């Protein structure tokens, strides 16, 4: 058993971190790496598995990005840090309860839902948020295998970011190409039976405005199973024009890659990816489910705003996945800005409706700043929040109403079965065992709550 005993300081600061994704664990890292204040940290998550987006958001074929879990694991194994899984904030424990147990609470629950397109037909079966599809192929226990059948020959993915590229890539790859990854076995079987043969990737603006990283774009072009088609006129940018001269280096690199694809002849592969620019979804078509997508050409006006041109076409697709940005959801009892979809804050300190600082409440990650940056961005973001928390340490101690109540006693009273770090290690071992039994790489994720609970009982 790992030693999670409190630090030997006579007066450690007790901090709860809500969320065990990168933002939450980087917060625990910053709190326990410093020597200004002795600190004990409990990292709470509603799932029995840590790592959040790294486990359930990073595509299974991105082994290098998923390796970040090794760094996060070291933080959870640090003395003074505890992982308490299976504990849902707002259901099993609330802010009033936490105030009895901790000097401070840091909310780091990320952004878990997709923004909507706001067009007719968006609620038809076959219209799907990219997060739902990502959760499915990443084996999130809330996602049922039956959620996707992939019985449409053509699919549209709306978005111009890396998540959209991930979704396109998984749809275009064969099951054999994904066999060595940690994708759940039941999901792999669905992908093996997929009827998808053509994927349309739609971006409302031009290639200079896309948020793809060059690496993700190149990964798409290296697929052995699919041709990538780009229309030359949609990536035709004046090399001496003001637009290109103002563009960031990453945008110019993307344009170069896309230009090479536009000049490339198709190889006759079994699947095809059409990368389209200056196209916006106008309406999803169909009576009982999606049978098509009406799209419209776009352009920039004199002020740089996006306008519709009136030129339309219909794509013969049976599924549409929207990936136009993530959004956070409100937490019970925690201030929330519905417009920005973030918790109002000043340098990580949570602000009430009147703009005053809510003592003892802090926020980090996407819930703090919105869904921007890469996974590593959360490290500096968490460190900034922690600096403010440590500055407040004297006031936090002065506000104590007595000795902290052990959180496990409150959870026991409410009947919560807490999954501690050792329970996560049991799941980790079960997934390694499953991979060996299937002759499939280092790990195969357990799919669904029943499988996770069975591993916990073991």
| Both structure tokens of 200 | 């349309």
Whether the pLDDT of residue 284 is over 60: the answer is: yes
**Count of beta carbons in the 10 Å neighbourhood of residue 81:** 23
The helix/strand/coil state of 130 is: helix
| Both structure tokens of 156 | 């549209």
Predicted confidence band of residue 132 (pLDDT cuts 50, 70, 90):
very high
Mean pLDDT of 284-301: 95
pLDDT at 188: 97
Predicted confidence band of residue 1 (pLDDT cuts 50, 70, 90):
very low
**Residue 205 counted as an annotated binding residue:** yes
Whether the pLDDT of residue 371 is over 80: the answer is: yes
Whether the pLDDT of residue 2 is over 60: the answer is: no
Which residues does 329 contact at the CB level (< 8 Å), separation at least 6?
109, 112, 113
Predicted confidence band of residue 251 (pLDDT cuts 50, 70, 90):
confident
**Residue 152 counted as an annotated binding residue:** no
**Residue 204 counted as an annotated binding residue:** yes
Whether the pLDDT of residue 115 is over 50: the answer is: yes
pLDDT at 372: 83
**Which stretch of DSSP H or E encloses residue 367?**
helix 366-369
pLDDT at 458: 64
Mean pLDDT of 10-36: 94
pLDDT at 6: 42
Q: Are 392 and 379 in contact (CB under 8 A)?
A: no
Share of the chain above pLDDT 70, in %: 97
Q: What are the sequence ranges of the domains in the chain?
A: 13-112+328-417, 113-326
Whether the pLDDT of residue 7 is over 70: the answer is: no
Whether the pLDDT of residue 123 is over 70: the answer is: yes
d(CA 376, CA 382): 10
**Residue 315 counted as an annotated binding residue:** no
d(CA 162, CA 276): 15
For domain 113-326, the CATH superfamily is FAD/NAD(P)-binding domain (3.50.50.60)
Predicted confidence band of residue 96 (pLDDT cuts 50, 70, 90):
very high
pLDDT at 225: 94
pLDDT at 240: 67
5 or 342, higher pLDDT: 342
For domain 13-112+328-417, the CATH superfamily is NAD(P)-binding Rossmann-like Domain (3.40.50.720)
Mean pLDDT of 389-400: 93
pLDDT mean across residues, the chain: 92
pLDDT at 9: 45
pLDDT at 4: 52
The region of weakest confidence among 250-259, 401-410, 412-421 is 401-410
Whether the pLDDT of residue 214 is over 50: the answer is: yes
Q: Are 216 and 253 in contact (CB under 8 A)?
A: no
The string over 405-437, giving b where at least 16 C-beta atoms fall within 10 Å of a residue's C-beta and e elsewhere, is eebeebbeeeebebbbbebbebbbebbeebbee
pLDDT at 16: 97
| Both structure tokens of 96 | 């009033």
**Residue 322 counted as an annotated binding residue:** no
**Residue 170 counted as an annotated binding residue:** no
Strand pairing partners for 337?
342
64 or 446, higher pLDDT: 446
Whether the pLDDT of residue 5 is over 70: the answer is: no
d(CA 196, CA 155): 7
d(CA 122, CA 411): 41
Strand pairing partners for 327?
113
Whether the pLDDT of residue 375 is over 90: the answer is: no
**Residue 374 counted as an annotated binding residue:** yes
Chain centroid to CA 140: 12
Mean pLDDT of 330-349: 95
Predicted confidence band of residue 434 (pLDDT cuts 50, 70, 90):
very high
Mean pLDDT of 389-398: 94
Question: Rounded to 5 degrees, what are φ and ψ at 34?
Answer: -80, 165
Give residue for tokens 């991979």. Answer: 435
**Which residue from 451, 411, 414, 415 is spatially nearest to 431, judged by alpha carbons?**
451
The region of weakest confidence among 41-55, 172-186, 373-387, 431-445 is 373-387
**Residue 53 counted as an annotated binding residue:** yes
355 or 3, higher pLDDT: 355
Whether the pLDDT of residue 120 is over 80: the answer is: yes
Angle between helix 68-76 and helix 22-33 axes, rounded to 10 deg: 50
d(CA 187, CA 139): 8
d(CA 150, CA 158): 17
């Amino acid at each position: 058993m790992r030693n999670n005993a409190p630090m030997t300081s006579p007066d450690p600061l007790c901090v709860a971190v809500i969320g065990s994704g990168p933002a939450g664990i980087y917060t625990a890292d910053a709190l326990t790496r410093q020597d200004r204040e002795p600190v004990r940290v409990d990292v709470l998550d509603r799932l029995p598995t840590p790592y959040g987006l790294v486990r359930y958001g990073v595509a299974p074929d991105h082994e290098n990005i998923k390796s970040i879990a090794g760094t996060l694991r070291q933080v959870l194994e640090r003395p003074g840090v505890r992982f308490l899984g299976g504990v849902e904030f707002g259901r099993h424990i609330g802010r009033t309860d936490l105030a009895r147990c901790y000097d401070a609470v840091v909310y780091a629950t990320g952004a878990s839902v997709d923004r909507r397109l706001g067009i007719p037909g968006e609620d038809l079966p076959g219209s799907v948020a990219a997060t739902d599809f990502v959760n499915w192929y990443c084996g999130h226990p809330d996602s049922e295998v039956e959620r996707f059948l992939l019985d449409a020959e053509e699919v549209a993915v709306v978005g111009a970011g890396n998540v959209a590229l991930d979704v396109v890539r998984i749809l275009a790859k064969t099951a054999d190409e994904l066999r060595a990854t940690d994708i759940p076995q039941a999901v792999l079987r669905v992908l093996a039976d997929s009827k998808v043969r053509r994927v349309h990737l739609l971006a409302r603006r031009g290639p200079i405005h896309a948020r793809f990283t060059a690496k993700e774009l190149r990964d798409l072009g290296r697929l052995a199973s699919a041709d990538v088609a780009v229309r030359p006129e949609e990536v035709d940018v004046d090399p001496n024009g003001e637009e290109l001269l103002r563009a960031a280096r990453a945008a110019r690199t993307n344009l170069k890659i896309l230009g090479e694809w536009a000049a490339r002849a198709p190889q006759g592969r079994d699947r095809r990816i059409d990368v389209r620019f200056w196209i916006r979804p106008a309406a999803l078509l169909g009576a009982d489910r999606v049978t098509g997508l009406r799209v419209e050409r776009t352009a920039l006006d004199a002020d740089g705003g996006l306008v519709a041109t009136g030129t339309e076409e219909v794509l013969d697709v049976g599924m549409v996945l929207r990936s136009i940005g993530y959004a956070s959801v409100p937490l019970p009892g925690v201030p929330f800005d519905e417009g920005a979809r973030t918790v109002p804050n000043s340098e990580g300190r949570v602000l009430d409706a009147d703009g005053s600082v809510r003592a003892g409440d802090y926020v980090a990650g996407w819930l703090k700043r919105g869904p921007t940056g890469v996974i590593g961005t959360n490290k500096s973001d968490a460190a900034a929040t922690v600096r403010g928390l440590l500055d407040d340490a004297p006031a936090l101690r002065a506000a104590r109403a007595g000795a902290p109540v052990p959180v496990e006693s409150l959870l026991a009273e409410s009947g919560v079965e807490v999954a501690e770090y050792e329970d996560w290690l049991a799941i980790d071992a079960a997934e390694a065992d499953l991979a060996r039994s299937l002759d499939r790489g280092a790990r195969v994720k357990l799919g669904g709550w029943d499988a996770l609970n069975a591993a916990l009982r073991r």
